[in-house]
Protein backbone atom coordinates (compact mmCIF):
# COMPACT_ATOMS: atom_id res chain seq x y z
CA UNK A 1 0.00 0.00 0.00
CA UNK A 2 1.29 3.45 -0.91
CA UNK A 3 -0.45 6.51 0.47
CA UNK A 4 -1.91 9.16 -1.78
CA UNK A 5 0.18 12.35 -1.69
CA UNK A 6 -2.02 15.29 -0.76
CA UNK A 7 -0.95 18.10 -3.10
CA UNK A 8 -1.07 21.23 -0.97
CA UNK A 9 0.24 23.35 -3.84
CA UNK A 10 -2.69 22.41 -6.07
CA UNK A 11 -5.31 22.88 -3.34
CA UNK A 12 -3.79 26.25 -2.38
CA UNK A 13 -3.69 27.40 -6.00
CA UNK A 14 -7.38 26.55 -6.44
CA UNK A 15 -8.27 28.42 -3.23
CA UNK A 16 -6.28 31.48 -4.29
CA UNK A 17 -8.02 31.43 -7.67
CA UNK A 18 -11.43 31.48 -5.98
CA UNK A 19 -10.30 34.30 -3.70
CA UNK A 20 -9.07 36.34 -6.67
CA UNK A 21 -12.50 36.00 -8.30
CA UNK A 22 -14.18 37.20 -5.11
CA UNK A 23 -11.68 40.07 -4.82
CA UNK A 24 -12.60 41.22 -8.33
CA UNK A 25 -16.28 41.30 -7.38
CA UNK A 26 -15.39 43.16 -4.16
CA UNK A 27 -13.45 45.82 -6.07
CA UNK A 28 -16.33 46.34 -8.49
CA UNK A 29 -18.78 46.70 -5.61
CA UNK A 30 -16.74 48.87 -3.24
CA UNK A 31 -14.27 50.72 -5.46
CA UNK A 32 -11.27 49.51 -3.49
CA UNK A 33 -9.14 46.41 -3.00
CA UNK A 34 -8.66 44.55 0.29
CA UNK A 35 -5.33 45.48 1.89
CA UNK A 36 -2.79 43.49 3.90
CA UNK A 37 -0.07 45.24 5.91
CA UNK A 38 3.02 43.18 6.75
CA UNK A 39 5.56 44.26 9.36
CA UNK A 40 9.09 42.82 9.47
CA UNK A 41 11.48 43.88 12.22
CA UNK A 42 15.15 43.06 11.65
CA UNK A 43 16.99 41.01 9.06
CA UNK A 44 16.09 37.38 9.77
CA UNK A 45 16.49 35.68 6.34
CA UNK A 46 13.69 33.13 6.81
CA UNK A 47 11.27 35.82 8.01
CA UNK A 48 12.17 38.02 5.04
CA UNK A 49 11.40 35.15 2.64
CA UNK A 50 8.04 34.50 4.33
CA UNK A 51 7.06 38.17 4.21
CA UNK A 52 8.02 38.50 0.53
CA UNK A 53 6.02 35.41 -0.40
CA UNK A 54 2.98 36.73 1.49
CA UNK A 55 3.24 40.09 -0.26
CA UNK A 56 3.54 38.42 -3.66
CA UNK A 57 0.49 36.23 -3.03
CA UNK A 58 -1.49 39.29 -1.89
CA UNK A 59 -0.77 41.14 -5.14
CA UNK A 60 -1.51 38.05 -7.26
CA UNK A 61 -4.99 37.92 -5.68
CA UNK A 62 -5.65 41.50 -6.79
CA UNK A 63 -5.24 42.92 -3.29
CA UNK A 64 -3.09 45.74 -1.92
CA UNK A 65 0.15 44.93 -0.08
CA UNK A 66 1.60 47.42 2.40
CA UNK A 67 5.08 46.30 3.49
CA UNK A 68 6.79 47.84 6.52
CA UNK A 69 10.42 46.85 7.18
CA UNK A 70 11.81 48.20 10.43
CA UNK A 71 15.39 48.02 11.72
CA UNK A 72 16.49 45.49 14.34
CA UNK A 73 16.89 48.30 16.92
CA UNK A 74 13.20 49.29 16.70
CA UNK A 75 11.76 49.85 20.17
CA UNK A 76 8.55 48.33 21.46
CA UNK A 77 7.00 51.77 21.60
CA UNK A 78 7.84 52.45 17.94
CA UNK A 79 6.29 49.14 16.86
CA UNK A 80 3.18 49.78 18.98
CA UNK A 81 2.82 53.20 17.32
CA UNK A 82 2.97 51.61 13.85
CA UNK A 83 0.38 48.98 14.80
CA UNK A 84 -1.91 51.75 16.10
CA UNK A 85 -1.61 53.60 12.77
CA UNK A 86 -2.43 50.43 10.84
CA UNK A 87 -5.40 49.73 13.11
CA UNK A 88 -6.76 53.20 12.21
CA UNK A 89 -5.98 53.00 8.46
CA UNK A 90 -9.18 52.29 6.48
CA UNK A 91 -7.15 50.88 3.57
CA UNK A 92 -5.74 48.11 5.78
CA UNK A 93 -7.97 45.09 6.39
CA UNK A 94 -5.34 42.73 7.77
CA UNK A 95 -2.20 43.23 9.86
CA UNK A 96 0.56 40.63 10.02
CA UNK A 97 3.55 41.23 12.30
CA UNK A 98 6.13 38.60 11.40
CA UNK A 99 7.40 36.58 14.36
CA UNK A 100 9.83 36.16 16.02
CA UNK A 101 10.50 39.72 17.14
CA UNK A 102 13.80 41.06 18.54
CA UNK A 103 14.34 40.48 22.29
CA UNK A 104 13.58 44.08 23.28
CA UNK A 105 9.97 43.65 22.08
CA UNK A 106 7.37 41.60 23.98
CA UNK A 107 5.45 39.60 21.37
CA UNK A 108 2.38 39.40 23.61
CA UNK A 109 2.13 43.18 23.75
CA UNK A 110 2.19 43.43 19.96
CA UNK A 111 -0.22 40.52 19.34
CA UNK A 112 -2.78 41.99 21.71
CA UNK A 113 -2.33 45.50 20.27
CA UNK A 114 -3.54 44.46 16.81
CA UNK A 115 -7.26 45.00 16.41
CA UNK A 116 -9.00 41.59 16.64
CA UNK A 117 -10.96 42.54 13.49
CA UNK A 118 -7.68 42.98 11.54
CA UNK A 119 -5.87 40.07 13.21
CA UNK A 120 -5.70 37.86 10.11
CA UNK A 121 -3.09 35.64 11.80
CA UNK A 122 -5.73 34.70 14.38
CA UNK A 123 -3.36 35.06 17.35
CA UNK A 124 -5.22 37.70 19.38
CA UNK A 125 -6.79 36.35 22.62
CA UNK A 126 -10.20 37.60 21.43
CA UNK A 127 -9.97 35.47 18.28
CA UNK A 128 -8.64 32.51 20.27
CA UNK A 129 -11.66 32.87 22.57
CA UNK A 130 -14.06 33.17 19.66
CA UNK A 131 -12.73 29.92 18.24
CA UNK A 132 -12.95 28.19 21.63
CA UNK A 133 -16.66 28.96 22.09
CA UNK A 134 -17.71 28.65 18.45
CA UNK A 135 -18.10 32.29 17.44
CA UNK A 136 -16.94 33.80 14.16
CA UNK A 137 -13.37 35.04 14.33
CA UNK A 138 -10.06 34.64 12.58
CA UNK A 139 -8.43 31.23 12.83
CA UNK A 140 -4.63 30.85 12.60
CA UNK A 141 -3.73 30.19 8.98
CA UNK A 142 -1.82 26.91 9.34
CA UNK A 143 -4.51 24.92 11.19
CA UNK A 144 -7.17 26.41 8.90
CA UNK A 145 -5.16 25.18 5.92
CA UNK A 146 -4.83 21.73 7.50
CA UNK A 147 -8.60 21.57 7.99
CA UNK A 148 -9.21 22.46 4.35
CA UNK A 149 -6.81 19.72 3.22
CA UNK A 150 -8.60 17.19 5.44
CA UNK A 151 -12.03 18.23 4.17
CA UNK A 152 -10.81 18.04 0.58
CA UNK A 153 -9.52 14.53 1.16
CA UNK A 154 -12.18 13.05 3.47
CA UNK A 155 -15.27 15.24 3.07
CA UNK A 156 -17.33 15.07 6.26
CA UNK A 157 -15.04 14.59 9.27
CA UNK A 158 -17.78 13.84 11.82
CA UNK A 159 -17.04 10.85 14.04
CA UNK A 160 -13.40 10.48 13.02
CA UNK A 161 -10.78 9.82 15.70
CA UNK A 162 -8.15 12.56 15.44
CA UNK A 163 -4.82 12.97 17.20
CA UNK A 164 -3.04 16.32 17.18
CA UNK A 165 0.61 16.00 18.22
CA UNK A 166 1.63 19.37 19.63
CA UNK A 167 -0.13 21.92 21.82
CA UNK A 168 1.12 25.32 20.63
CA UNK A 169 -1.17 28.33 20.47
CA UNK A 170 -0.31 28.71 16.78
CA UNK A 171 -1.12 25.18 15.55
CA UNK A 172 -1.92 22.48 18.11
CA UNK A 173 -4.64 24.10 20.22
CA UNK A 174 -6.55 25.79 17.36
CA UNK A 175 -6.26 22.61 15.26
CA UNK A 176 -7.87 20.59 18.04
CA UNK A 177 -10.69 23.13 18.37
CA UNK A 178 -11.33 23.13 14.62
CA UNK A 179 -11.54 19.33 14.59
CA UNK A 180 -13.90 19.38 17.59
CA UNK A 181 -16.09 21.84 15.70
CA UNK A 182 -16.24 19.28 12.87
CA UNK A 183 -17.43 16.64 15.39
CA UNK A 184 -14.23 14.64 15.51
CA UNK A 185 -13.17 12.85 18.68
CA UNK A 186 -9.93 14.69 19.44
CA UNK A 187 -6.86 13.80 21.47
CA UNK A 188 -4.12 16.40 21.97
CA UNK A 189 -0.81 14.61 22.48
CA UNK A 190 2.54 16.13 23.43
CA UNK A 191 5.98 15.41 24.89
CA UNK A 192 4.53 14.16 28.19
CA UNK A 193 1.97 11.82 26.60
CA UNK A 194 2.42 8.24 27.81
CA UNK A 195 2.91 5.62 25.07
CA UNK A 196 2.56 8.18 22.30
CA UNK A 197 2.87 5.62 19.45
CA UNK A 198 -0.10 3.67 20.82
CA UNK A 199 -2.17 6.86 21.13
CA UNK A 200 -1.39 7.77 17.51
CA UNK A 201 -2.26 4.26 16.26
CA UNK A 202 -5.91 4.80 17.23
CA UNK A 203 -6.33 7.80 14.96
CA UNK A 204 -8.11 8.08 11.63
CA UNK A 205 -6.54 11.55 11.34
CA UNK A 206 -3.04 12.47 12.54
CA UNK A 207 -1.86 16.09 12.57
CA UNK A 208 1.84 16.28 13.49
CA UNK A 209 2.98 19.69 14.73
CA UNK A 210 5.62 18.89 17.30
CA UNK A 211 8.79 20.36 15.73
CA UNK A 212 10.91 17.20 15.86
CA UNK A 213 12.29 15.90 12.55
CA UNK A 214 10.73 12.60 11.39
CA UNK A 215 9.57 11.72 14.91
CA UNK A 216 6.35 10.01 13.85
CA UNK A 217 7.22 6.62 12.34
CA UNK A 218 5.25 4.46 9.96
CA UNK A 219 4.50 1.85 12.63
CA UNK A 220 2.73 4.56 14.65
CA UNK A 221 0.14 5.03 11.90
CA UNK A 222 -3.18 3.21 11.67
CA UNK A 223 -3.54 1.59 8.22
CA UNK A 224 -5.47 3.91 5.93
CA UNK A 225 -5.20 6.96 8.22
CA UNK A 226 -4.86 10.49 6.83
CA UNK A 227 -1.64 12.19 7.95
CA UNK A 228 -1.11 15.96 7.91
CA UNK A 229 2.52 16.90 8.54
CA UNK A 230 2.88 20.50 9.73
CA UNK A 231 6.57 20.21 10.60
CA UNK A 232 9.33 21.83 8.59
CA UNK A 233 12.83 20.97 9.78
CA UNK A 234 16.12 21.48 7.97
CA UNK A 235 18.51 18.57 8.52
CA UNK A 236 22.28 19.15 8.59
CA UNK A 237 24.19 18.80 5.32
CA UNK A 238 25.05 15.26 4.25
CA UNK A 239 28.36 14.06 2.77
CA UNK A 240 27.49 15.77 -0.52
CA UNK A 241 27.02 19.08 1.28
CA UNK A 242 23.26 19.10 0.76
CA UNK A 243 20.80 19.75 3.54
CA UNK A 244 17.17 18.70 3.19
CA UNK A 245 13.81 19.71 4.53
CA UNK A 246 11.78 17.10 6.37
CA UNK A 247 8.57 17.13 8.36
CA UNK A 248 7.70 15.77 11.78
CA UNK A 249 6.66 12.49 10.12
CA UNK A 250 9.03 9.91 8.63
CA UNK A 251 7.43 10.23 5.21
CA UNK A 252 8.76 7.07 3.57
CA UNK A 253 7.70 4.67 6.30
CA UNK A 254 4.38 6.45 6.96
CA UNK A 255 3.48 6.49 3.26
CA UNK A 256 3.59 2.67 3.27
CA UNK A 257 0.77 2.56 5.84
CA UNK A 258 -1.33 5.72 5.56
CA UNK A 259 -4.20 6.24 3.16
CA UNK A 260 -3.14 9.81 2.37
CA UNK A 261 -0.29 12.04 3.54
CA UNK A 262 1.06 15.54 2.97
CA UNK A 263 4.65 15.85 1.74
CA UNK A 264 7.22 18.33 3.09
CA UNK A 265 7.65 20.66 1.35
CA UNK A 266 4.56 21.09 -0.82
CA UNK A 267 1.88 20.09 1.65
CA UNK A 268 0.74 22.40 4.43
CA UNK A 269 3.05 25.33 3.64
CA UNK A 270 1.25 26.64 0.53
CA UNK A 271 -2.08 26.40 2.38
CA UNK A 272 -0.84 28.69 5.15
CA UNK A 273 -0.29 31.56 2.73
CA UNK A 274 -3.54 30.88 0.85
CA UNK A 275 -5.47 31.02 4.14
CA UNK A 276 -3.77 34.31 5.07
CA UNK A 277 -5.04 35.79 1.80
CA UNK A 278 -8.45 34.28 2.52
CA UNK A 279 -8.58 35.81 6.01
CA UNK A 280 -7.60 39.23 4.67
CA UNK A 281 -10.36 39.12 2.07
CA UNK A 282 -12.91 37.98 4.67
CA UNK A 283 -11.87 40.88 6.93
CA UNK A 284 -12.47 43.36 4.11
CA UNK A 285 -15.80 41.77 3.23
CA UNK A 286 -17.01 41.96 6.84
CA UNK A 287 -15.93 45.58 7.19
CA UNK A 288 -17.77 46.56 4.00
CA UNK A 289 -20.82 44.34 4.52
CA UNK A 290 -19.97 42.48 1.31
CA UNK A 291 -21.57 39.08 0.74
CA UNK A 292 -18.99 36.46 -0.32
CA UNK A 293 -18.77 32.76 -1.12
CA UNK A 294 -18.89 31.09 2.31
CA UNK A 295 -16.94 28.04 1.14
CA UNK A 296 -13.75 30.08 0.96
Residue 281, in any domain of the structure: no
Residue 284, in any domain of the structure: no
Per-residue pLDDT tens for 192-248? Answer: 999 999 999 999 999 999 999 999 999 999 999 999 999 999 888 777 777 788 999
Q: What is the 3-state secondary structure (H, E, C) of 235-276?
A: ECCCCCCCCEEECCECHHHHHCCCCEECCCCCCHHHHHHHHH
Looking at residue 1, its pLDDT comes to: 64
pLDDT band at 137 (very low <50, low <70, confident <90, very high): very high
Looking at residue 98, its pLDDT comes to: 96
- Both 70 and 109 in a single domain? yes
User: Is residue 115 helix, strand or coil?
Assistant: coil
Looking at residue 150, its pLDDT comes to: 98
Query: 235 versus 97: which is more confidently predicted?
Result: 97
Catalytic machinery residues:
54, 98, 121
Looking at residue 295, its pLDDT comes to: 81
Residue 190, in any domain of the structure: yes
Residue 130, in any domain of the structure: no
Q: Does residue 271 have a pLDDT over 80?
A: yes
Looking at residue 234, its pLDDT comes to: 87
Q: 256 vs 1, 168, 215, 224, CA distance in Å?
A: 6, 29, 16, 10
Mean of the pLDDT values across residues 127-156? 97
Structural domain tally of the chain? 2
Residue 276, in any domain of the structure: no
- Both 148 and 248 in a single domain? yes
pLDDT band at 73 (very low <50, low <70, confident <90, very high): very high
Query: 128 versus 240: which is more confidently predicted?
Result: 128
Q: Does residue 276 have a pLDDT over 80?
A: yes
Residue 111, in any domain of the structure: yes
- Both 195 and 256 in a single domain? yes
Cis peptide before 100 (omega within 30 of 0): yes
The per-residue pLDDT of the chain, averaged, comes to 96
Mean of the pLDDT values across residues 1-29? 96
Mean of the pLDDT values across residues 151-156? 98
- Both 253 and 157 in a single domain? yes
Percentage with pLDDT > 90 across the chain: 92
- In the chain, DSSP assigns E strands to 4-5, 35-41, 64-70, 94-97, 161-165, 185-189, 205-208, 226-229, 233-235, 244-246, 260-261
Residue 5, in any domain of the structure: no
- Both 39 and 99 in a single domain? yes
- Both 97 and 159 in a single domain? no
Give the CATH number of the domain where residue 68 resides.
3.40.50.10860
Per-residue pLDDT tens for 179-191? Answer: 999 999 999 999 8
Looking at residue 265, its pLDDT comes to: 94
Mean of the pLDDT values across residues 6-10? 97
CB 76 within 8 A of CB 107: no
Structural domain of residue 97, as residue ranges?
Answer: 30-115
Q: Which residues share a beta bridge with 206?
A: 163, 227
CA dihedral 106, 111, 113, 118 (to 10 degrees): 160
Q: Is the dihedral of CA 250, 252, 253, 257 positive or negative?
A: positive
Give the CATH number of the domain where residue 149 resides.
3.40.50.720
- Both 84 and 146 in a single domain? no
- Both 97 and 167 in a single domain? no
Residue 128, in any domain of the structure: no
Amino acid sequence: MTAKRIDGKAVAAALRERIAAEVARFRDATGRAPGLATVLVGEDPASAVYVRSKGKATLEAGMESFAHHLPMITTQGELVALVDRLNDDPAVDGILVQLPLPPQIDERVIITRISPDKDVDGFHPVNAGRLAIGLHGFVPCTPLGCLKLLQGELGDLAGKDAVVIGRSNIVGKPMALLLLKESCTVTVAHSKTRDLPEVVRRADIVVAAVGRPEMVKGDWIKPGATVIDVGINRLPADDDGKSRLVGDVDFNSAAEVAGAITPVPGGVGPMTIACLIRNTFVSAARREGFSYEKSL
